[in-house]
Amino acid sequence: MKKIFSTLFLLSFLFTFSQQSISFESGSFKEILAKAKKEKKLVFLDAYASWCGPCKLMEKNIFTLPAVKAYYDANFINARIDMEKGEGRDIAAKYSVRSYPSFLFLNGDGDLVMQNFGYMGEEDFLTIGKEANNPKLTDSSMKELFIKGEKDPDFLLNFMKRYAESDYELAKKGSERYFANKKSEEFTRDEVGLLLYFLKSPADPNYQIFRAKKDQISKILSEEIYKQFDANIKISKVMENSLNQKTGLIDDAYFYKNAVPLIGQKDAETALARMKVIYYENVGNFPEYEKAALTYYKNSEDFDPQELLQPAWNFAQHVENKESLKKAQEWAEKSVMKGETPENTYILARIYAKNGKITEAKTYAELSKNLSESQGKDASMATELLQSLK
């Protein structure tokens, strides 16, 4: 009996130990910030919502890991707050929390040092904690450190990501400092992405780096895509000035007059078509979008089937012209041929229906419905389409 009792006690102890998690504070947000300031630590705030599945998985699978608990308990004042209850609503509004889970790292003054979101594994979760745990950030905000001339590469990477949406020009300055002080010769794909995101004009300091590292960047992007980016950068101002603010239309004559001398006739035609596709979709001018897409995607063999699915979807929703819909059918069929998904089969069914191919429409609507249900996705659109085809 003693042995059984001892074994049960040990199992109970091990179970309890395994369920231990990051130690989260129970006080008010104000009290948590005050504690962080007093102890010269950052606050790690798990901003969650009660209905959020990934939030629950983080709580169950990641916060309970020994290495995670040890690191976060030792280096942060930890808090978990439901963003849809009590003071969580004000916190969500203050820090623009829109995705769950969101992970906020704050100094004692409540300044946002770093932010990340979404379910992540142990290694990634520890990595973001270590990136945020810069001792300099306990007493100064990222902006203050940047103004003082901070050049640490990890700091500048986080700085760019932190301000990319809220203060683009400030983040752009951060990118210029980062690439000007970059020691490693090799560029990663992420670095190329950041370089291009903050590169808008040949006058930008980063353009010189873009040109100097052409061979490396071309290996990551391909020479053709590098060439397209270079052309877009050179004519960025021309694109901006081509838009007639009164009519909301793009002035082809002005564009060609100013773009052709910079990049040549062929590249100017491609750039104008791409510009129109992006702009007219964004403003919801689908008659103009239809014309632009038919020009830009004319040679569908030049595009990845997945890229063709977006114009096919737009045509399925907004276009009635039969000849245009035949082209959209071609785009959707190419996507389906590469691999059937709930999305591309539904789009193809919609286009078949518009083209009067009811039998084919029913077949692919049924396929979309079955794929959605088997993958745990919403099948209501496919179901509605099937009902309308009876």
Closest to 46 in 3D by CA, of 76, 77, 23, 80:
80
Instruction: Give the pairing type, strands 112-117 and 76-82.
Output: unpaired
Catalytic residue among 32, 45, 47, 55: 55
Instruction: Dig out the tokens for 193 from the structure.
Output: 């992405």
**How far does the chain reach from its first CA to its final CA, in angstroms?**
71
365 as an active site residue: the answer is: no
Question: How crowded is residue 64: how many other Cβ atoms within 10 Å of its Cβ?
Answer: 16
Which residues are within 8 A (CB) of 59 and not within 5 positions of it... i.e. 6 or more apart?
A: 21, 46, 48, 80
- Dist CA 101 CA 55 (whole Å): 5
172 as an active site residue: the answer is: no
- Dist CA 80 CA 84 (whole Å): 12
Planar angle of CA 102, 106, 108, nearest 5 degrees: 150
What is each CA distance from 77 to 46, 138, 189, 283, in whole angstroms? 11, 12, 34, 45
Spell 246-259 as b/e; 16+ CB within 10 A means b.
eeeebeeeebbebb
**Partners of 333 in the β-ladder:** none
Catalytic residue among 33, 36, 49, 52: 52
> Coil, helix or strand for 299?
coil
Question: How crowded is residue 50: how many other Cβ atoms within 10 Å of its Cβ?
Answer: 11
Spell 305-332 as b/e; 16+ CB within 10 A means b.
beebbbbbbbbbeebeeeebbebbbebb
- Dist CA 259 CA 287 (whole Å): 25
Catalytic residue annotation: 52, 55
